[in-house]
A = this chain, B = another copy of it.
Amino acid sequence: MSILESPLTRKLSAFVALSSVDLETLAKFHRRRRSFKAGHQMVAEGETHQSAFILAEGWACSFKVLPDGERQIIDFQIPGDFLGLRSILFRTSDHSSEAVTKIEASEVLAADMFDSFGQAPRLATAILWAVSRDEAMAVEHLVNLGRRSAEVRMAHFLLELGARLKLVGVGDKTGFNCPLTQYHLADALGLSAVHVNRVLRQLREDGLVTFQRGRVSFDNIRGLIALAEFDTAYLDHDGPLLK
């Protein structure tokens, strides 16, 4: 796959038109291709000298583990997403990451990224946008946990995943293939697995969305959007800001 069609390029292009210098510089981020098995721990919380990656294929998740063993999933990474960026910017990583499926990713060295800012300032802007978009998602998840009921929370989460996957060209408005278990959903939504199950049943019986056998089907996407009061503004998908 050429750099022009990589999921990251596709995502960044939703924000800014990249010049050929930007693209050449971005290509350097893709020199260290790596493969990992499902379940592999990519980044470890509290450790120094961790790597960052750009995900090309597969799903990962970032999370924090509390002293009592409970886990809070922060977000899932899909193709085109950075993984562990904060672990190279910070002294010690503030979070862990693991592969949900087997994945293909490019390892990004801190030096590569910092050097690139001198060579292609507009790329710096694009990366700042990507990080801000990740922040916007974390913020929306915060609102999700703080103020929405379990049912609305689930609806919102599934719609967000759908929107993100659509942007990088996987899945459409009828649904998407999803490798997550109900335990993943529980850890992401701050619910127990038992309650996740009940909520999914409720949404299915209401004819809104079906989560079964590795597939999320939007049975009534309008109803689902209405229930979740879902607005994609925070994902900033609406075409380039700069040109």
Contacts and interface: CB of A to CB of B under 8 A. Distances in A.
Interface of A: 46, 64, 66-67, 70-72, 74, 85-86, 89-92, 94-95, 114, 117-118, 121-122, 124-125, 127-129, 131-132, 134-136, 138-143, 145-148, 189-190, 229, 233-234, 236, 238-239, 241-242
Given A92-B233, A236-B91, A190 B135 contact: no
B66 A236 contact: no
Nearest to A145: B145
Contact of A124 (B124, B129, B190): B124
19 contacts: A66-B147, A66-B148, A67-B229, A70-B147, A71-B147, A72-B142, A74-B139, A90-B132, A94-B236, A114-B121, A118-B121, A121-B121, A131-B132, A135-B135, A138-B142, A142-B142, A145-B146, A145-B190, A147-B190
Given A138-B142, A139-B95, A146-B145, A132 B89 contact: yes
A21 B235 CA distance: 34
A66 B64 CA distance: 27
A128 B129 contact: no
Nearest to A85: B132
A64 B241 CA distance: 21
A175 to B, nearest CB: 25
Contact of A141 (B132, B142, B233): B142
Given A90-B234, A90-B241, A114-B242, 12 more contacts: A64-B139, A66-B143, A71-B147, A74-B143, A86-B135, A90-B132, A91-B241, A94-B136, A94-B233, A121-B121, A128-B128, A145-B190
A86 to B, nearest CB: 5
Nearest to A188: B146
Nearest to A64: B143
- Tallying the copies of this chain within the complex gives 2
A242 B138 CA distance: 27
A135 B142 contact: no
A74 B136 CA distance: 10
Most B CB contacts (10 A, CB to CB) among A125, A189, A242 go to: A125
B238 A91 contact: yes
Given A66-B143, A72-B146, A94 B234 contact: yes
Nearest to A191: B146
